[in-house]
């Protein structure tokens, strides 16, 4: 399976398991295993660079197992072949997202106007609070 120019996934890295799908489908639901569970052994994959694996782990979230595998489950359609294609597409999209390096944030300083507005708001608030003090009965 080809992801981009540098990354291709070998067949041995992918395992598919078919189970019965939940939801509508009449008699078909009880007979045909259409749901797909695609398992990609990402941690052991020699084709994925280290930084891509780390980003993929973060993107995968709960789909990442303790053994370092990425599990994608699809049971959208009644067709096993279509569910299989959808699972492979999702895996491809996820790996492509992981290949993109996130932009480095360039720290900026607050503008002079924003500093002045902040100080002015703090002074107004302090004045409101100071007026809430006890009232002297002598006044």
For residue 31, give Cα distances in angstroms to 28, 74, 82, 83.
Answer: 5, 18, 17, 17
Contact 75, 34 (CB under 8 A): yes
Q: Give pLDDT, residue 139.
A: 61
Determine if the pTM surpasses 0.75.
Answer: no
pLDDT lower than 70: segments of the chain: 23-26, 139
- Smallest CA-to-CA distance from 82 within 29, 18, 27, 26 is with 18
**pLDDT value of position 128:** 93
């Amino acid at each position: 399976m080809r992801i981009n120019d540098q990354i291709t996934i070998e067949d041995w890295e992918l395992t598919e398991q078919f189970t019965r799908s939940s939801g509508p489908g009449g008699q078909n639901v009880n007979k045909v295993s259409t749901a797909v569970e695609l398992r990609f052994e990402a941690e052991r994959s020699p084709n994925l660079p280290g930084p891509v694996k780390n980003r993929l782990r973060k993107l995968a979230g709960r789909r990442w197992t303790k053994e370092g595998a990425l599990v994608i489950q699809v049971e959208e359609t009644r067709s096993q072949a279509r569910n299989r294609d959808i699972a492979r597409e999702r895996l491809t999209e996820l790996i492509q997202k992981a290949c993109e390096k996130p932009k480095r944030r360039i720290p900026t300083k607050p503008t002079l106007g924003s500093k002045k507005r902040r100080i002015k708001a703090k002074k107004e608030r302090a004045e409101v609070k100071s007026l809430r003090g006890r009232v002297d009965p002598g006044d």
